[in-house]
Amino acid sequence: MRFTSQTSSDGVTEQLFTSSFTFGEIPGVLWTPDGTAGTRPLILMGHGGGQHKKAPGIVARARRSVVECGFAVAAVDAPAHGDRPRTEEHDRLIGEMRNRMRTGGDAAPVLAEFHTLLAGQSVPEWQAVVDAVQKLDHVGAGPVGYWGMSLGCELGVPFIAAEPRVHAAVLGLNGAETSPEAAAQITVPLEFLVQWDDERVPRAASLALFDTFASAEKTLHANPGGHAEVPMFELDSSLRFFTRHLS
Amino acid sequence: MRFTSQTSSDGVTEQLFTSSFTFGEIPGVLWTPDGTAGTRPLILMGHGGGQHKKAPGIVARARRSVVECGFAVAAVDAPAHGDRPRTEEHDRLIGEMRNRMRTGGDAAPVLAEFHTLLAGQSVPEWQAVVDAVQKLDHVGAGPVGYWGMSLGCELGVPFIAAEPRVHAAVLGLNGAETSPEAAAQITVPLEFLVQWDDERVPRAASLALFDTFASAEKTLHANPGGHAEVPMFELDSSLRFFTRHLS
């Protein structure tokens, strides 16, 4: 793990890093409280489709998690997103999706195939990032939480199912299409967000995914509005949820 | 309004009262912080079917609302519940419900008729209670919230629709059968609780009632478990919700 920059503002240290990994390098960012060592809970944040590790919604949530809860927060570019290269296979699937959308075809199966491909890459990547980040003095090997909406949920489900270090997760804005088997293996406490008028995720698919999780403690929070309109009070709720389960 | 007893424990004053009303007397209870005057938010709590104003779930929620938030809390016996007499019409409907349940008939239409009868009584009763309680020095005319599950939701919906002094409400464990017209008139912020495996309220009926509310801010919280198994962390959430909207 190699840090490429470090800045600080309003009590939050932001470090850009590159985490070397068997199959390549993962660009990421780590937010921690200024000038404090010692073990603390680590929240992993998975960005949405077409976004990246420093998308405004990620940065805002990460900074509040650090300032209000003293957590460390890490985000990485998902495969084929942000600063990461696309493979020929990525390009083929993205091209096919655009083509189907343009011609009124059904892009959903291609999107599902694309997401399955990305999840196969991102699960071991997230595990490598946890390995590396938890070796740092100012993070340590504390409990891990995962936060991810939309693509971040899609890639989070198989990761959480595979990774016993994740103790709690906030997921949402996604349906049950891609990873129902992984969802059925998740037993950690969950907060699951649904946008009641989501133009991209059918309501029934969201409810089906919530149904599938095996967690004894899981809460569905549904709010009116479209895919990108999650109300800010849900961030307050997420922070309290992580504090309850990770502190 | 006449107080019949006053006790205090752990910083909470509990006053039993009888509120005179055009059509009779309503037995109620008021919880407030010990020894403080001045206007404060007032939460009205509507108990469930077969319960009463001092059911354990009501008392526990009321005391925490007073201690943690400084609210005043009032609960009354719903018509035909607790210390209140039943009319011949109440007895007829209750007998018919029991008869149908015993013989495997459909009790739901009789229950709906019973609830409609009770709601017609309880709406003006709650209004009279707010009138009386808000005249007290240690309550005053502050913002009003309503909390009610199951029957407390059933009777709360037409009350909230009719009463502009209610600024926010926590409702739940009820479907859309009885008062869809009233539900469609509600525009205040709502938190709406659903038990995902409710043996008494069909999931689809709960979701339909949530859909019907006209509130711009409404959040559905769904948790696994049966009708009586709402997790205690939802009380934390309710208190934060009322604090956000009434303080």
**β-pair partners for B6:** B15
What are the distances in angstroms from CA B68 to CA A115, B30, B62, B193?
46, 16, 10, 21
- Burial call B136-164: b when 16+ CB within 10 Å, e when fewer: bebbbebbbbbbbbbbbbbbbbbbbbebe
Query: How high does pLDDT run on average in chain A?
Result: 94
- Contact between A26 and A76 under an 8 Å Cβ cutoff? The reply is yes
Question: CB-based burial of residue B192 (10 Å sphere; 0-12 exposed, 13-18 middle, 19+ buried)?
Answer: buried
Pick the closest to residue A184 from A226, A156, A212 (CA basis).
A212
Would the CB atoms of A244 and B233 count as touching at under 8 Å? yes
Domain boundaries, chain B: 2-83+119-246
Would the CB atoms of A231 and B217 count as touching at under 8 Å? yes
**Given A211, A217, A223, which is nearest B219 (Cβ)?**
A223
Q: Which of A195, A196, A213, A234 to mutate to test the interface with B (most CBs of B within 10 A)?
A: A196
Considering Cα of A86, then A90, then A96, then A102, what sign does the dihedral take? negative
Confidence of residue B36 (pLDDT cuts 50, 70, 90): confident
DSSP for A174-202, written as a single string? --SSS-HHHHTT--S-EEEEEETT-SSS-
Q: Is B51 helix (H, G, I), strand (E, B) or coil?
A: coil
pLDDT above 80 (res B22) = no
Chain-centre distance for alpha carbon B44: 6
Q: Which of B190, B233, B234, B239 to mutate to test the interface with A (most CBs of A within 10 A)?
A: B233
Task: Please tell me the predicted confidence (pLDDT) of residue B15.
Answer: 97
CATH topology of domain B2-83+119-246: Rossmann fold (3.40.50)
- Contact between A5 and A27 under an 8 Å Cβ cutoff? The reply is no
Q: Which of A198, A220, A240 to mutate to test the interface with B (most CBs of B within 10 A)?
A: A220
Query: Residues of chain A whose pLDDT is less than 70?
Result: none
Q: Using one digit for the tens of pLDDT, what is the confidence trace for A219-243?
A: 999 999 999 999 999 999 999 999 9
Task: Please tell me the predicted confidence (pLDDT) of residue B166.
Answer: 98
A109's enclosing H/E stretch is helix A108-133
- Contact between B212 and B241 under an 8 Å Cβ cutoff? The reply is no
Would the CB atoms of B236 and A240 count as touching at under 8 Å? yes
Of chain B, the percentage scoring pLDDT greater than 90 comes to 86
Confidence of residue B247 (pLDDT cuts 50, 70, 90): confident
pLDDT above 90 (res B20) = no
- Contact between A220 and A46 under an 8 Å Cβ cutoff? The reply is no
Mean pLDDT of B142-156: 96
- Contact between A157 and A186 under an 8 Å Cβ cutoff? The reply is yes
- H helix intervals, chain B: 56-69, 88-102, 108-133, 151-162, 180-183, 203-212, 233-246
Q: What is the largest CA-CA distance in chain B?
A: 55
pLDDT above 90 (res B175) = no
Task: Please tell me the predicted confidence (pLDDT) of residue A147.
Answer: 98
Confidence of residue B26 (pLDDT cuts 50, 70, 90): very high
Which is it for strands A166-172 and A190-195: parallel, antiparallel or unpaired?
parallel
Place of tokens 């409990």: A143
Considering Cα of A125, then A127, then A130, then A132, what sign does the dihedral take? negative
Angle between helices A108-133 and A151-162 (to 10 degrees): 50
Give the span between the Cα atoms of B151 and B163, in whole angstroms.
18
Chain A: residue nearest B203 by CA? A207
Give the span between the Cα atoms of B240 and A243, in whole angstroms.
15
Which CATH architecture describes the domain A2-246? 3-Layer(aba) Sandwich (3.40)
Task: Please tell me the predicted confidence (pLDDT) of residue A20.
Answer: 82
Q: Identity (one letter) of the amino acid at A116?
A: T
Q: Is B39 helix (H, G, I), strand (E, B) or coil?
A: coil
- Contact between A163 and A129 under an 8 Å Cβ cutoff? The reply is no
Give the span between the Cα atoms of A87 and A46, in whole angstroms.
21
pLDDT above 90 (res B177) = no
* Residues from A in contact with B at Cβ < 8 Å: 194, 196, 210-211, 216-224, 231, 233, 236-237, 240, 244
How far B136 CA lies from chain A's nearest CA (Å)? Answer: 33
A229 Ramachandran zone, left/alpha/beta (phi>0; psi -120 to 50) = alpha
Task: Please tell me the predicted confidence (pLDDT) of residue B176.
Answer: 77
